[in-house]
Amino acid sequence: MIQNTGAEYFDAHETKLALYLSDKWQATDRLWLSGGVRLERYNVGGTNYMSTLAFGATDVAHPENERGVNWSIKQGTPTEFKASWWLPSFNLSARYTIAKGFGVMAEGIANATGSAALNFVGADMPNLDRIWTYSMAVLVSSTTPLG
């Protein structure tokens, strides 16, 4: 009988504390700017049944936690995990009025993320590097009904 060879188990806690600052500014009659900065402290920790204790590791620290046919958590050894990150994010928006009821808006965002508690469910340590994501959008808009 094959039972739970993935063995996704963990008992975890997360704490988050963040500070956010923002401002908006009517630079000219046609140009409006808005920006913000967020700094978050993210901590995660708990217990699971990992076999490798470093991301991408090939050495098995706990061979009794290697998943296989008929493997059970009862055979394994609990392992502790703990990680913390400072996660900054930034956003900037600009709106420029070209003519009454018509303008262009642009927005850019940069955001850092850490590994969430859910990523610690398996047999291997997840990536603990801070990961950056970026996005940008430009929108041409009209407040005047067409037609």
- Spatial contact of 55 and 126, defined as CB atoms under 8 Å apart: yes
Block mean pLDDT (10 aa), the chain, length 147: 57 94 96 97 92 85 84 85 95 92 93 90 88 93 63
CA distance 59 to 146: 65
Check residue 143 and give its pLDDT: 65
